Structure 1
């Protein structure tokens, strides 16, 4: 029951850096549907929150629940621009920075590519790891390809849900990478 309350109270924030096609942005769709809140200046957010940062050294895990988090912030920007700029998601230094472990993208632009998730997929992945499966399903239910995310990542999702800490998540990620490299 406590996890259910935690999950339903967890706020979803979007900080949009307009580098990609507005109409194709999954984050834009989420805040238009009022599933997420768009923020103009993330430094003004109150409380503790996770910033999804694909270049963070630490991976998101259930350990992060102990921070008594108020929400999750996704930075909506172009993967190509991030890579051009050497991996800087955005210059602000605040929030609890976490990267996601390996997931396979189901969005039409990066279908089948590991780690290259849309903003909606990234939020859903973070929620899955924190144990908020229903919130993750809700977020992806707004996209035609959303259900496919769960199919492509079914084994990973089962394992990540069981993971109780960062060490477990990293072991699952490492094992999955070894499996796909061994094929």
Structure 2
């Protein structure tokens, strides 16, 4: 299926999850995430600032900081590039690409220094660990630069047994996919 059409279908599907169900699913995903050895062993973690229909990352970020982890959030750059900037609860933020909050200023982490990256997207397939992102290509470019573990936190509505979209040669497979039902894929 055409990626853009499938993206619109997924956004509609995710917007149909009622808030009570969404919060219950997020709580289960959060607990499963913090049980993973990659999370327990990581010192430097990268995670996106969520918005709208996405899984709410604010409680995850809060708990990571409370657990003494170094948290980094993305900032977009020209030519569809991105970097991750150290984040704490006092970091100044401003809306940028697609309205996502990004840090203003701050310390940038080198891609090779990250231990774990939580990768966002719209859909994931559990035969090989591929994702359908939002269409900018920012994450696929960045993921090629980092040896960090690549984990997805998703709702079951985002999971497919095989890709329903065209997988491109530049797509980077993920290492673990976690939903409210637990680990759905592990490389």
TM-score, normalising length: structure 2: 0.32
Greater helix share, structure number: 1
Greater strand share, structure number: 2
TM-score, normalising length: structure 1: 0.32
